[in-house]
Structures are given as structure tokens and as C-alpha cells.
Structure 1
Amino acid sequence: MSKTDPAKGREEYSTSYKVGQDNVQFLGLDVHNPVFGTSALIIFAFVLGSIIFPNDAKEILMAARGWSINNFDWFFSISGNLFVLFCLLLIVLPMGKIRLGGTEAKAEHSTITWFCMLFAAGMGIGLMFWSVAEPVAYYTGWYGTPLNVEANTPEAAKLAMGATMFHWGLHPWAIYAVVALSLAFFAYNKGLPLTIRSAFYPLFGERVWGTLGHFVDILAVIATIFGLATSLGFGAQQATSGLHFLFDIPNTLTTQIVVIAAVTSVAIISVARGLDGGVKLLSNINMIIAAILAIFIVVVGQTGAIFSAIGTFFLGYVENIIPLSNWIGREDDTFYHGWTVFYWAWWISWSPFVGMFIARVSRGRTVREFIIAVLLVPTAVSLVWMAIFGGSAIEQVENGVGSLAGGITDVSLSMFQMFEQLPLTSLISFVGIVLVLVFFVTSSDSGSLVIDGITAGGKTDAPMSQRIFWAVMEGIIAVALLVGGGSDALSAIQAAAITIGLPFTLLMLVMCVSLFIGLKQDLKFVTK
């Protein structure tokens, strides 16, 4: 059953479920009882086990990750391709004119600010971490080469750039776009709670408010908190590596804890300020600093080589996207499983977090505008960013200049090793560290908003203390993992998050069907 509102150009689903009806209040929190309680128990059990038995936990969870990646590589590859095709299809179909929130809905944020927020939450920190290390790794054969190309050759340089873009281009952003558009459409056009389970209403009806819905939301919460905590832990290691490189500050556990505490403290302030005063402000700052850093490297670096790298990245991506998307008869097993399939599982495990955050800031956009902004624009920006950083790094390796010429020794140091060969090394290294930290703050901040929304049953106005609670928990979990088990414990929890990517891939395929049904129902409201 549904109810139509022609004046607003939308059709809402009739449902007996009300946002917050299953919520309980305690200690100042307003949480969805089954989701919050079950998620908390599972997270506590996993984290405690990883701290007490870090080696055993890593071995078990890494085995689970390996099983899912090695046995379902075809499933991840096919699904990733389907998500890209589905998003491109929505751009050209008539349903692309549908506006999120109805025909009268207005965008809540300027286009630039909107893009800055979705980009900062989506993969800003990943681009800082891998923009140098990944192209160099592929070029030198540090951990397999794409399509078994011979390492350290001109062909390897071009394919390294194409393979890097393959992992940071259309496929990951299509994964985010599917989840984000589904959540935004069913919340703003169908009147359902802004939570993962709502995306399955056309197929399962009122059952999404029961056990099935609880399972979906719990899966999303676990994947999000594990992904954020491990990223915060590994990010602290990168930041301390940079501080040691720049200021000779000891790269110790104590320093890493101080970094996490500082990031968490700023995230708490940002969360307390709300979406506009927190994430929105920091995202704009992020992109301004990133743009200044990129322009500076272009100016003081090998400018001609960088501009040439932009074309090489583009051609390498276009020429190799189909061979790299293929899952049949792959002989580059180390690269295919260790990089591509791993990435697809990782992006999918992050999709509930990034997708829900993008949905929260996208009311008022048309489906076509949404897909173009979430899929095509970030891919173009990522290409330019990778060309500036990765192109500069490969140029150094090709010419035997600097530490990178000897290959990857420490992934967390790769960016700073590239900076070492540029003028004003200390200044740009310091800016790089600041950018890494601010990106982590925005990830923590937006992640807290997302987890808060899911565990509050779709509420977007839960108490501020609740958002602060989740920001604090992310920091505590990261510190506990570092102190209790170090990199082994972080790797174990990361492996758990990636393993969750397998069942969530199936849910995303179902989500595509559900979204298509919902969009088709709303076509009659599209302005001709």
C-alpha cells in the first residue's frame, strides 16, 4: 500500500512502523534495542578476543578473509562490474530526472560543499595513504604486477597507473553510489527511516522491521565500526611515521596513542557542532588544503612529467579497465586476489558507512545529478590526484632518485619519501601530516553520525551525547587494539570487516533490484 502526494511529486509507502518505536532510553542515549545491544555485544567480543589472542584472532580471521576472497573472487568481480553498469544506466534512463525528496525539494548544501563532504568521507584518507605507494608497488612488482606485466618497464609504468585508477575510479564509487542512492531515495521519497533496512522495503515489505532488518543493520554497524577503528589505528601509524620522519619524534606506541587521542578529541568537538559546523566545515578545509598541496607539487615538481602522467593514467585506465575487470582465466593471481578482490571487499564493507553519510547530505538532488557527482566527478579528481602524486613517485623510481628507487620499504612512509626529493620538504611533509589527520577527523565524525543513525533506528535527531559516545568508542577501540595486540589485532579486525563484505555484496545486488522497483514507481511524478 502507498499514499501519493502529487503536490510534492512523490509517493510514500504506508507502514505501521514509526521511527523510534523500538527505541529504549538509558544513560542519556536513545537507541534501537535489538540493533544497539546485539552490535555492542558482537563488537565487544571481537575486540576482546583480538586483544587477548591477537595472533590466533589474526590467523582465524585472515583465514576467513582469504576463504571469502579466494572462493568468491568471481562474485566480487561480477558484482563490481554490475554496480558500475547499473549506475551508468540510471544516468541515461528517464528515472534520472527523479528528485530526492520530491519535485519541490531543494538542495541543502552548495554543490562544492556537497562534493567536498562526500569525497572526504568516501576515500580522502585512502588517497593520501596509497597515492604514492600503490603505483610504485605495481611498477616495481612489490606484491605482484597487474596482468603479469614485466616490472620496471615502460609497459609496467602505464599499467601501474591504469591499475591504480581501476581500484580508485568507477568501481568503488559505484559501490558507494548504489547504497547512498538507495538510502536517500527510500528515506526522502518513500518516507522510510534513514537506515539500511529501508532499502529492501519494496521486496520484503513490513518484514524489514523484524529480524531480517535487524540483521542488515547489525551487519552495517559492525562493518562500519571495524573499518573506522582499523583505519584510525593504521592512520595513526602513518602519522607517527611522518612525525618521526619530519621531527624525529619517536615512532612508538605512546606517540600513536597520542595521535589517536588528538584525532578523537577534535572529532568530538566536530560532532558536538553538528553536521554544518562539523563535517561540513572540516570537509571544506580538507579540500582547500589538498588543492593547495597538489598545486604546489605540480609547480615545484616535474611539471611536464606530471601533466604527461595525467594522460598516461587516463589512457592506462581506459585501455585496461576491461582486462582488469575480467575474472576468467586470470594468471596474475597475486595481484588479482591480493589487490583487486581485496579492494572490492573492502569498499563494499565500507559502503554502509559512506553510503549513509552521502545519503544524509544529498536531499534535493536529482538521481542523474547524484550519480554524476558521486560516480564521475570523484573518478576524475582521483585521476588528477593520483597522476600528481603517483606520477611524481614513478618518475623518481624510473630515474633512480631517492629512497623510492629502492622499492617499497614502508607503505606508511612512501608519501614522505616522495616529498623528500621536492623543494621545501619539511613544509609539504608537515602539510601532508595535517591533511592526513584532518581527513581522519572527518572520517571519524561522519562515521559517528552514521553509526548513531543506524543504532537509533533511523533517527537523525538523536541526543548529541549519543554521537559523542560513538566518536569516543572509535578511539577507544583503536587504542585498545594497538595496546593489546598491535598490528596483528588491527589486521584481525580489518579482516573481519572485509569478510563482512561477502554477505553485504549479496545484499547490495538485492538493493539494486529494490531501488529500480522504487524508482520505476515514482516515474509518474517526473516533470516532463
Structure 2
Amino acid sequence: MTKDRTPQCDAAAVPKDSLIDTDYVVGQDNVEGSFGPFSFDIHNRVFMISATISIVFVVLTLLFPEAAGQVFQAVVNFSIKTLDWYFIILVNLYLFFCLALVVSPYGAVRLGGKTATPDYSYLSWFSMLFAAGMGIGLLFFGVLEPVYHTTVSMPLNTPSPFGADGELVPGNIPEARAMGLAGTYLHWGLHGWAIYALMALSLAIFTYNKGLPFSIRSSFYPILGERVWGWPGHIIDVLAVFSTLFGLVTSLGLGAQQANAGFNYVFGMEISLTTQIIIIVVVTAVALISVWRGLDGGVKVLSEINMVTAFLFFLFVLFAGSTLTALNTVWEGVTAYAREIVPLSMPFGRTDDAYREDWSAFYWAWWVSWSPFVGMFIARVSRGRTVREFIVAVLLVPSLVIFIWMGVFGGIALDQVFSDPQNSLVKANVIDSYSPELSLFGMLNELPFPNIVSTIAIILTLIFFVTSSDSGSLVVDTITAGGKTDAPIPQRIFWATAEGMIAIALLVGGGLTALQAGVTATGLPFSLVLLAMCYSVWKALSSEPR
């Protein structure tokens, strides 16, 4: 076993006009070793701290689930009910910063230097940005959130489509539906993607333009100087690890609940914690196979299958349902979103506490937690783009795709609710008993071939589950390997296993509340990391040729 203190990047690769002095490009404390077929290449302190805390968290949560549940509830109450205003203000600042870069002279800076050329065509690049926006969340919330906001949450105190006696009020339906979609689009549009854009831009600037390791800590050299390679940098990377882990396991937990609901709907399988744990174990095992096969033989193949299947699934729902109503709903939602984006995104305003706390604050914490994961992917595929085209594309392309998806799914579900409010399974699942994981299957039940289509939805959920676990383990491994992207496979296997175990622990320790607690507890400190990145990005761009 050897101790490696060689530089993580070649100092000669740092541009001469770089903000960063080549003297600071020094090695990190990495440990390399090999034991037969198992090898490792880790950033010793970051890996050991992250791995130890993960193991202790899983063990304590499984041993003391009731006490853990109480702790999780307290975390949720503090994070999203007390500090909802904090998350909302901060995410507005992220979006404002990104828009300011677009219109500033810094927008002309090219990622990789002024002679860099894009690695991918616009079509390929847009396709990969689209892939980054697809996930379990679209299947879980695509029906649930538009219907919930339209009929229950009432963003901006929109008149309810249902009167006091429960009967429909036709005049209120268009306004309620438009505002329900606007309230949904707020959580899946520009604000959220500004978080990803900020993270990705920071990683790209400091990796491609400054020649630094592909690591979160690299973004903080303008602030910390040489200390970025010491304990301050270790802390930043550890926060990034847990932010990514809990952002991922929240999606994995939701995916397990939705898959369980689908199996119950199609095959009559019991909805229970035990079933959800079995689903997580099985899917994690498949993810481990994908990890072992590597990026090209595993996650790439699954991602391509999923993209094609998701597109065909979307087309079926669009044309099997009320097509014109769905397309009209997309347009209503987009126009309402453009009109109401400011009041909807304010910490104090016409929206009620439930909308701001249970939805907006939770979503912003979730987006922040996912930012290292998605940000690293976007940064990898965006070399050669100018800052301006990068930000515009990252903000608009995925947002537009998500708006169309949720507008179509939500529009068709709302048409079912308003056509037969007493018998619609969507309304029963969302309003009366509030079983969010069943809302998608309630909508599919009223379309042709419901069992077949629901089975496809389950398969999509499971493949999203696998690809998220595989890709997430790669990102966490990159962070814990000091920014290296070619670390040995056994390390990714460890992190894929850890993700599954943490997801199980959170479900045992409190279900949806525990998932919310995990993501908000890590999103809270990491939101400050993103805020500091704004200064680092500005400082780095100010030294770049335009």
C-alpha cells in the first residue's frame, strides 16, 4: 500500500491567464491499494468519514426506529416549517445570479478556454440535458402534484373548482387548473434548474478553465486558497457526499413506494414496508450488476432503454387520453407560470403556509441535495459552450420537457377528475385517502389497456431506480476519490450498497417523513456551499478572456 502525493492535475495544463496560481495545484492525501480482485483509490479522510457516518446512521436507525422517527419529525419541522423562508429566498438568489451572468459580459466566457470547441452537437447535448431532467420524480409527481394543487393546495388562494357541497363550480375550473399547473411548474422549472446550473458551471469553470480536480472543493480556492486541500476542503466534500446520498435515497424511497403501489394495482401485491424493502434490495442488486458491467455496458444501456420507453409511454398517454385538453393544459400552465412566477416564489405572500412549507421548501432542499449529482453530469457534457448558452440551455431545455410531461399527465388526470369527480380514482387517491404513490395508476386505470400500461410504468420506475443508484454511486465515488473519475469499481459497489441501506433505514425510521428529513437536513448546510459558489464563480469568470 502506497501513499500518493502526486498532483491530481497537471500544472502545465492550467491556462497562463488563469486566476489560479499553478503553485497551488498540489496532491491530496490519497490511498491506493489492492487485495486480489478488490482495489481501492480513495481520498482517505473524506472516504473514511463519509463511510463511517453512513454505517453508523444505518445501524442506529434500524436499531432504534421509533427514536429515529421522532428525530426525523423534529428535523422536518425545523427545516421546512421554520426555515421555509430561508430556502425560498436563497433559491431566488441562485436564479437571479444565473440570469445576471447571462446578460453580463461574463456570458461570453467559454468553458474550457477561448479556443475550446463543444464535445457534443446541440442535438446530443440537448438530449443529455433532457436525460438529466428525467427521473422517478416525474412518474411520482407527474399526476399527483397538478391534481393536488388544483383541487386541494390552491396556490395563490385560487377559487376551488369544488363548492362547499362538493359539487363542481364550472367557472372556477379553468383558473384553478391553470394555477395548479403554475404551482407545479414553479417546483420543476427555472428555480430548480438554476441550482443545477450553478453547481455545473462552477465545476466546469474550475476543471476546464483552471485545470483543477473535478471536485466540489476546487470551486473554493478563491475563498480558501491552499486550505482547500486541508480540512475545510474535506468538510465541503463530506457535505457534498451526504447531500448527494440523501437526495438520491429520497428518490429511491419514493420509487420503492410507487413500485409497490403498482404491483398492488396490477398483481394484488400487499402494500407494506416489507414489500418496499424487498424492492429496494432487489433493485440495488440489479444496480450492483450494472455497476460491475461499467458505464457503457450497464447504466448507458439501461438509460437508452429507459429514454425510448419513457417517450413511447408519454405518447401513449397523450393520444389515449384527452389529447386536446392535455395540450391546452400545458399552454394554460405555462402562461400562468410566466404570469405568477414572482408571487408564487415569494417567502411571504398570497400562497398559504402548506404550499410554501410542505412543497416549496421541501423541493428546494431536494434540488440542492441533488445538485452535486446532476451538476457533475451536466458539467461533463458541456465543455466548449459559452457561459451564456450553457445557462440558457440548462434553464430552458429540461424545464420545457418537464412542463410538457407534467402538463399532459396532469391535464389528463384533471380531465378525469372533473368529468366524474365522484368515481375518479385519481381524486380518491389524492384527496380522500391521500395515497400519492397511487395517483399515477389511478389515471392510467381510465385509459385503454390499464394493466399493460401500468406494468410499463412499474418497469420505468424500477429502471430509473437502477440508473439513479448506479450514476449516484459514481458521483459519490468521484468525490470520495479526490475528483478522480476512474476509481475502481468496488468503491462504486460500496456506495451503491450504502444508498440502498440508507433508503431502507429511512423507510423503517418514518417513511415519507424520514425521507423529507434526510433531504432537508443535508440540503440546509449545502445550500450555504452553493451560495459561496456564486462568489467563486464570479471571481473565476472575472479573470477569463472573453
Q: Which amino acid aligns with 1:161?
A: L
Cα distance change of structure 1 residues 490 and 407 upon mapping to structure 2, 3 Å threshold: closer
Structure 2 regions of 5+ residues with no counterpart? 1-9, 162-171
Residue pair 2:102, 2:387 contacting (<8 A) in 1 also: yes
C-alpha separation between the residues in 1 aligned to 2:21 and 2:299? Answer: 31
The aligned counterpart of 2:199 is 179
Q: More displaced, 374-383 or 436-445?
A: 436-445
Task: State the 1:103 CA deviation.
Answer: 3.5
Are positions 1:260 and 2:284 aligned together? no
Quick check: 1:146 aligned with 2:155? yes
**Match of residue 167 from structure 2:** none
Name 1:441's counterpart in structure 2: 466
> How many angstroms does 1:276 deviate by?
3.9
Distance 1:262 1:364, change over 3 A: farther
Task: State the secondary structure of the residue aligned to 1:191.
Answer: coil
Return closer, same or farther for 1:454/1:3 CA change in 2, 3 Å cut-off. closer
Q: Percent identity, aligned pairs only? A: 50
How far apart in 1 are the matches of 2:67 and 2:276? 24
State yes or no: 1:22 paired with 2:44.
no
How far apart are residue 455 of structure 1 and its match? Answer: 0.5
Count of aligned pairs between the two proteins? 518
- Distance in 2 between residues matched to 1:258 and 1:112, nearest whole Å: 39
Give the letter aligned to residue 530 of structure 2.
M
Deviations 1:404-459 (A, max 9, x none): 23351311110010001111212221221111111122211110110000111111
Deviations 1:131-168 (A, max 9, x none): 10011111221xx3312223323222211110000110
Does the CA contact (< 8 Å) of 1:50 and 1:489 recur in 2? no
Aligned ranges 1:330-369 → 2 under 5 Å: 330=350, 332-369=352-389
Question: After superposition, where does 1:83-232 map in structure 2 within 5 Å?
Answer: 83-141=94-152, 144-152=153-161, 153-154=172-173, 155-232=175-252
Q: Given the alignment, which residue of 68, 86, 96 partners 1:75?
A: 86
**Amino acid corresponding to residue 45 of structure 2 in structure 1:** P
Partner Cα separation in structure 2 for residue 224 and residue 392 of structure 1: 33
CA deviations on 1:465-518 (whole Å, 9 max, x unpaired) are 222221222223334554xx26x1663354033122222222211101110110
Q: Which residue of 2 aligns with 1:65?
A: 76
Range that drifts further, 264-273 or 333-342: 264-273
**Residue equivalent to 1:413:** 438
TM-score (structure 1 length as normaliser): 0.91
Q: Indicate yes or no: 2:545 matched with 1:520.
A: no
The secondary structure found in structure 2 opposite 1:502 is helix
Kindly state the Cα deviation for residue 331 of structure 1 after the two structures are TM-superposed: 5.6
156-165 vs 233-242, greater mean Cα deviation: 233-242
Q: 2: CA distance between counterparts of 1:5 and 1:351?
A: 27
Written as runs of structure 1 = structure 2, the 5 A alignment for 1:275-424 is 275-330=295-350, 332-400=352-420, 402-406=424-428, 408=430, 409-424=434-449
Give the counterpart letter for 1:509 in structure 2: L
Deviation at 1:379, TM superposition (A): 0.8
Shift of 1:313: 1.0
Contact 2:129/2:397 (8 A) holds in 1 = no
What is residue 169 of structure 2 aligned with on the other side?
Answer: none
Amino acid across the alignment from 1:191: G
Question: Which structure 1 segments of 5+ residues have no match?
Answer: none
Root-mean-square deviation (Å): 2.5
Is the contact made by 1:59 and 1:492 (CA closer than 8 Å) also made in structure 2? Answer: no
1:507 maps to amino acid: V
- Partners of 1:458 and 1:381 in 2: how far apart? 31
Aligned to 1:48: 59
Shift of 1:109: 4.4
User: Given the two structures, how large is their TM-score scaled by the length of structure 2?
Assistant: 0.88
Q: Does 1:430 align with 2:455?
A: yes
Give the residue type in structure 2 aligned to 1:127: L
Distance 1:121 1:53, change over 3 A: farther
SS at match of 2:237: helix
**CA separation of 1:355 and 1:85: change in aligned 2, threshold 3 A:** same
* Superposed displacement of residue 262, structure 1: 3.4
